[in-house]
Amino acid sequence: MSVAALLAQAPALPLHTAGKYVAGAYVVLFAIVLVYVAIMAVRLGRMESELGELLALAERADEGDGEAAGTERTPRQPPARRGSAPT
């Protein structure tokens, strides 16, 4: 028996009974979205703190170079990404 035929034979829930299930579905969906937003907020906070550390590290490295004014600086290579294979 196909799914469409099975759904056609299933009785519809009365509105006073179905309301509980609809409300429950909305609550579950809201909870899932709330958890997703919380996870993204934690990841964003972690990324911002790492970016701040990298910025402070780059500023300290620039201050510690002690290069004379007017000398040409060679560009630095970006650090390798975590978990990536060397190319």
pLDDT score, position 19: 83
Distance CA 73, CA 66 (A): 11
pLDDT score, position 50: 95
Instruction: Report, as an integer, the average pLDDT of 40-60.
Output: 95
Contact 13, 21 (CB under 8 A): yes
Record the pTM: 0.53
Distance CA 20, CA 9 (A): 22
Q: Which two three-digit tokens encode residue 38?
A: 């919380």
Q: pLDDT tens digits for 7-31?
A: 777 777 676 778 888 889 999 999 9
pLDDT score, position 5: 79
